[in-house]
Structure 1
Amino acid sequence: MTDFTVIYSKRRTICAEIGPDGSVKIRAPQNMRKRDIQEFVRMNEARIVRARQKQAARAQEAGRKTLTAEEIAQLKEKARDFIPARVKYFSEQMGLFPSAVKISSAVRRFGSCSAKNSLNFSYRLMLYPQEAVDYVIVHELAHIVHRNHGKEFYALISRYLPDYKQRIALLRR
């Protein structure tokens, strides 16, 4: 396998990462030699190929195509424009103001709220209807005052999005 990108960082271990477009990124410690990286790829080639196939099958099964690098770039740009504007709108409505709003490439979660009230949103939200995106934004803003998913948390969400349960269903499609 020769089609991979190496990303050096301050990490201590090496790992392979499969991008949404099927690209392979090898994350390696800054001081790791190229031949050690190539050896890692050779030793893990079967696992990498299986992971790529599994990801493509999962995307196909879900009725979604694997996104190209260009499509991902467009979604990220759209998210950078759209999400902060919606956060500002709902922040003013709710009187809750995050310390920062960031767009990420998160795969397993649509959004998160840090202990310092910084909100993070996945660019993948742009694949969903605006009603669903608005729900995730209100959900994360609600975490500024309610750090759990208790009754008060959902009461706050319901105050601004009475149909929040239908909006959650949009995210599960």
Structure 2
Amino acid sequence: MNHHDSHEDPVLARLARDGSSAAFGMLVKRYHARVFAFLLTLTKQRQDAEDLTQETFLRAWDKIHRYDPAQPLLPWLFTIGRRLSIAALRKKKPLPENIPEAETSEPTSAALRLWELARRELPPESYSALWLHYREELPLKEVATILGKREGAVKVILHRARKLLAERARSTAGLAHPPPLPEPQGSMP
């Protein structure tokens, strides 16, 4: 992941807090794709993820005065997005069970197949934890904050998710020997 611009986030956030829509626009441009990708992992629906991404940044603009510039901005945005997605899921009516899922193209690399398997097989919270830690490269402490869990609980979620994926991958034809996900990196001893 490209984190080289994040050192400018506190300055941009302070400017946005003072009313600079241009500074906030730079933050939106910087993080829009990553927030969208994360929300897509939660919603599994492109339109829902697009709507929630827009709502996330609107809420962030409204609440920018509550952002602590001493903390990384991306986990704050992910937390807002996750809370909005939970609220949206509660409001959403379930779809009839007989609607077929859209056909998806077969992922080409082992890593893509593994992520697709994780998306299909894991509960949303486990998939989100994997995504945030391995794809977004967030430390366990930040993943825990976003998910509203203790750091130790996130370690357990990641361990169980990796174990389940390994079992499912072994039983799936195209993933006889999946690439291993590394152990989580964090601050807990």
Structure scoring higher RCO (CA < 8 A, sep ≥ 6) equals 2
TM-score (norm 2): 0.30
Structure with greater helix percent: 2
Structure with greater strand percent: 1
